[in-house]
Structure 1
Amino acid sequence: MASFGGILTAMVTPFDERGAVAEERAVHLMHHLFDTGSDGIVLTGTTGEAPTLTDDEKAALWRLGVEECGDRGRIIAGTGSNDTRHTIELTERAAEAGVDAALVVAPYYNKPNRRGLVAHFRAVAAATDLPIILYNIPSRCAVDMPNDLLRELAEIENVVAVKQARYEDLEPIEGLELLAGNDDMLARVLDIGGTGGITVASHLVGREMRRMIDEPEQRQQIHESLRDLFAALFVTTSPIPIKAALNMLGHEVGGLRLPLVEASAEERAVVRQALERHGLLATV
């Protein structure tokens, strides 16, 4: 099985002035990411506002990613939901679009127990030939997948990696590539044998984050230099800050769909100051 390591950017979904998906802007952003250090992109994940995208909008983005950038790197589709049947349907549509893998989050809100989690992921994996990347993010799901459960899920043939967004009890799992699920975890994950991360700040500093993989002797120094930017991009609920940053830099990714709202003046100031400190935006 091919590796899913490297810098995989969890891409925002650009919207136009009417709030519709702006496909031309999405293509522009995809190429920008591959031009600036990304090894792959994740479409329709949390950062891509998946909860407020229709299934048809998601499928259109997956097709667009494959058609426009499939020869440049990994195209990964966020297909997870808290409904196993719906997750299977989305994963089947992602496979039809030609993506390289599916990112499947732990079911949220309905809080399945361990047996339910295993049954969910077994059912999704059995319904597709796509490689499956598990996504463990207890802060959003109210469900955690402990390491012993991950070891059990690693036995499923096409479950190949985990995007780990839990800060505690990090460890490599035999049979799973370990991917950082938060920007400020990337250095730690790489230090313990992880292969990369699914990241947000790589919209802005992809080359520097890629250096954390390529130049391990400089990893901690690079991490320290980016800590303030990582923090600024989570000054409020993501993807609000990264969309504000991209708009400031001229990428025209538009607004957000409710219930997410635009960054406040105070939040925008935090983002702007971080961009200025890193030389990404001219000081006004």
Structure 2
Amino acid sequence: MGRETLGVVVARFQSPELHDGHRHLLDVVESRHPRLLVVLGTARTYVPTSKNPLDFATRREMVRGRYPLALVAELPDCRGDAMWSRALDAIVAEHAPAGDAVLYGSRDSFLRSYSGEHRCEEIDPIEDHTATALRLEAVTRPATTDDFRRGVIYAATTRPPVVYQTVDVAITDDRRRRVLFAKKREDAGALRFLGGFVLPGDDSLEAAARREAIAESGGLEIGDATYLGSTRVDDWRYRGGADRITTALFVAPYLLGRATGADDVDENEWVSELDVTSGAIAARLVPEHRRLGEMLAAHLRARR
């Protein structure tokens, strides 16, 4: 192999440190080429995830700490393999204008997905090391050092602000002209709408609304949830920070059952529709749900 070629390692290195398998791959490539380019794949998610917790800058410095002469570039994930291969070739071209480069990977790496113009070689792993195992160890055995705490603060501070999606539901009993609300002991007798956070397993906002309404009413049978609108919630738990909550308000007809309060709700209370439409309910609602009360009142007045 010509010594003038650029050795390229394409990896993610989503681990607290470079493990033996990572270092073996990098050492082999560094021994074969006068220049080493490490291309780090980067997820295009909005915030860090358990699979991709480390940003590019953090991983770049981890590589440079062990391989100070290495070139390090970032390759964001692409929709498909062909597009990703072209993006990788463009990065390689910036560092090897003559096109003299060899791409290296280990078993189950990018090699099967790459369709670009450069030659690829597979490096046999020395042991069955995985970054997944190292991430799991980091979670199950958190360190107690200053550096660890600095890292936690860095991760929480540098991530983009998050808007959390919630749903709130008004269960309406049209026959008796009343609306079901929830009570929590922490609210000192104030009322709130039934609802909660949308979960990853929810297929839609409507499905989340139905799940929350049934859970917090103690298992009432209800009809299909109808969307009324959305609004920002001034949740006291998030004041002072950059994160926010946006909720979608739904109304669902009562069909059958006795409301007993369940999940994180201590009890339910039926309120007359007149108290809602007249605005009398506002003084009894927790402050963050008063805007929802106005939205529901407008809906009930409009359908008369």
The TM-score, its normalising length taken from structure 2, stands at 0.27
The TM-score, its normalising length taken from structure 1, stands at 0.29
Structure with the greater relative contact order (CA < 8 A, sep ≥ 6): 1 or 2? 1
Larger Rg over CA atoms: 2
Structure having the larger proportion of residues in strand: 2
